């Protein structure tokens, strides 16, 4: 991904440390966080310094490389990394790859991440073939390069379409409670020079009903064997509305996100996060200082599932590195 004129990946290893873009600070600040222990990598994944299924997988495999380099027990490191984010399947895919492949610690991790980035690039190639000049696309949460090693999943087709001279417009759901759409997706599209407009989550139904959306493309954190899709909370309602109004609803995901051992969406564990993500907001104040404010009364209980499951019947197709599955 290109940021401030320089190419970055979301996660990499440098001088024996796992490095990652601190996504909690974007769009207001840009900093690189680095970690020298598996515990710190686990904390970074849990606290969403890094997020997005393929990027979590990348952080996980570099965590395994770090464990081997520092002499930590690999089985214990696997268990600790595996439990950081239970919904995303790419994490298990990456950890298993590390244990079942050959080569030096960093070599194995780099190879996996190179392959992950290439899968996302090919998602962009196949997805761009479906995009016509002037199309308006709705997306939810952030499934761009920040959520992957590079390129992204849902945003990859827009990037490739742009490179091919197609002018597309992206409607960006804000995606409460952590606002990854507002904070990350809109910022990525600005950096890439792709036309976009931010909307509150509860405006999406009005937008879909108005005829202003030609297609919906979202990412995925896990896809069950029957085609059910777990993705950021709020995806399900967009899929149901898209079906109602006859708008194609596509999921963009690499093969690493498919879980053949998970029979259906009912078997996907849904992570529930803390109340404070719902009762508080975090951003930059008018004085230029990062501020966390409470938007509900003190002590207000909250329900905060991080994901929901969209049944396969609402999915028009899944754009993968091998083409579109329908």
Report CA torsion sign: 57, 94, 325, 125: positive
Evaluated on CA atoms 169, 165, 27, 93, the torsion sign reads: positive
CATH number at residue 10: 1.20.120.420
Same domain, 176 and 314: yes
54 with 69, same domain: the answer is yes
| pLDDT number for residue 2 | 82
The CA distance from 291 to 296, in Å, is: 16
Q: How confident is the model at residue 62, as a pLDDT?
A: 98
93, 110, 221, 308: which is the annotated catalytic residue?
Answer: 221
pLDDT of 244 strictly over 90: yes
DSSP 147: G
Rg (CA), the chain: 19
Give the per-residue pLDDT at 1.
Answer: 87
Other C-beta atoms closer than 10 Å to the C-beta of 41 total 28
CA distance 65 to 11: 13
Statement: residue 26 has pLDDT above 90: yes
How far the first Cα of the chain sits from its last, in Å, is 29
Of all residues in the chain, the percent with pLDDT exceeding 90 is 95
Question: 74-82 and 53-69 are packed helices; what angle lies between their axes, rounded to 10 degrees?
Answer: 160
The confidence band for 117, taking pLDDT boundaries of 50, 70 and 90, is: very high
Which domain, by its residues, includes 61?
Answer: 2-120
Structure tokens at 123: 């998602």
What span, in angstroms and rounded, lies between the C-alpha atoms of 242 and 234?
13
Same domain, 241 and 293: no
pLDDT at position 270, please?
97
Contact of 219 with 147, CB cutoff 8 Å:
yes
Residue 249: beta bridge partners?
Answer: 216
Which CA distances in Å does 92 have to 53, 222, 258, 320, 323? Answer: 10, 11, 11, 19, 23
Tokens coding 321: 């590195």
Return the CATH number at 140.
Answer: 3.40.50.10470
Instruction: Please state, in angstroms and rounded to a whole number, the distance separating the CA atoms of residues 317 and 326.
Output: 4
| Kind plus residue range of the DSSP H or E element containing 7 | strand 6-7
Q: Which of 63, 93, 120 finishes a domain?
A: 120
Cα–Cα distance between 306 and 150 in angstroms, integer? 23
Of 120, 147, 178, the last residue of a domain is 120
Write out pLDDT tens, residues 305-317.
999 999 999 999 9
Alpha-carbon span 189 to 170, nearest angstrom = 8
Q: Provide mean pLDDT across the span 233-242.
A: 98
Peptide bond just before 27 cis, omega within 30 deg: yes
Which DSSP helix (H) or strand (E) runs through 186?
A: helix 186-192
Do 146 and 250 lie in a common domain? yes
The reply to whether 44 and 145 lie within a common domain is no
Asked if residue 70 and residue 18 are part of one domain, the reply reads yes
**195 and 145, same domain (yes or no):** yes
Distance between CA atoms of 230 and 242, rounded to whole angstroms?
Answer: 17
Q: Say if residue 313 is in the same domain as residue 178.
A: yes
Residues 191-220: tens digit of each pLDDT: 999 999 999 999 999 999 999 999 999 999
| Cα–Cα dist 316/291, whole Å | 41
Give residue 290's pLDDT band: very low, low, confident or very high (50, 70, 90).
confident
Tell me phi and psi for residue 218, to 5 degrees.
-130, 170
Instruction: Give the whole-angstrom CA distance, residue 33 versus residue 221.
Output: 23
* Residue 79 and residue 149 in one domain: no
List of residues 6+ apart from 43 with CB closer than 8 A? none
Q: Is 221 a catalytic residue?
A: yes
The model's pTM is: 0.95
Say if residue 6 is in the same domain as residue 65.
yes
Tell whether 132 and 99 lie within a shared domain.
no
At 5 the pLDDT is: 80
* Domain total of the chain: 3
Q: Where are the beta strands (DSSP E) in 121-275?
A: 136-139, 169-173, 195-199, 215-218, 222-224, 229-232, 249-252, 258-259
Residue 31 has pLDDT above 90, yes or no: yes
Same domain, 226 and 139: yes
Note the pLDDT tens digit of each residue in 40-74: 999 999 999 999 999 999 999 999 999 999 999 99
């Amino acid at each position: 991904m290109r940021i401030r004129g320089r190419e970055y990946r979301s996660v990499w290893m440098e001088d024996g440390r796992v490095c990652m873009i601190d996504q909690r600070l974007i769009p207001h600040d840009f900093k690189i966080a680095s970690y020298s222990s598996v515990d710190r990598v686990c904390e970074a994944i849990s606290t969403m310094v890094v997020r997005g299924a393929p990027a979590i997988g990348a952080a996980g495999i570099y965590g395994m490389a770090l464990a081997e380099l520092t002499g930590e027990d690999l089985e214990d490191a696997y268990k600790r990394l595996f439990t950081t984010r239970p919904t995303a399947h790419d994490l298990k895919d990456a950890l298993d790859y590390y244990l079942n492949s050959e080569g030096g610690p960093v070599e194995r991790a780099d190879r996996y991440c190179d392959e992950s980035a290439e899968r996302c690039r090919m998602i962009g190639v196949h997805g761009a073939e479906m995009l016509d000049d002037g199309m308006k696309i709705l997306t939810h949460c952030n499934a761009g390069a920040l959520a992957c090693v590079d390129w992204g999943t849902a945003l990859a087709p827009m990037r490739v379409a742009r490179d091919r001279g197609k002018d597309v417009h992206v409607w960006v759901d804000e995606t409460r409670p952590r606002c990854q759409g507002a904070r990350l997706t809109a910022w990525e599209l600005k950096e890439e020079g792709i036309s976009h407009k931010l909307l509150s989550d509860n405006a999406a139904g009005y937008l879909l009903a108005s005829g202003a959306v030609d297609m919906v493309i979202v990412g995925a954190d896990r896809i069950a064997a029957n085609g059910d899709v777990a993705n950021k909370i709020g995806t399900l309602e967009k899929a149901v509305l898209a079906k109602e109004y006859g708008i194609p609803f596509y999921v963009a995901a690499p093969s690493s996100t498919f879980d053949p051992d998970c029979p259906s969406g009912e078997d996907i564990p849904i992570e529930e996060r803390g109340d404070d993500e719902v009762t508080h907001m975090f951003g930059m104040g008018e004085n230029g200082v990062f501020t966390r404010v409470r938007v509900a009364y003190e002590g207000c209980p909250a329900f905060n599932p991080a994901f929901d499951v969209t049944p396969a019947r609402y999915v028009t197709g899944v754009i993968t590195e091998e083409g579109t599955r329908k």
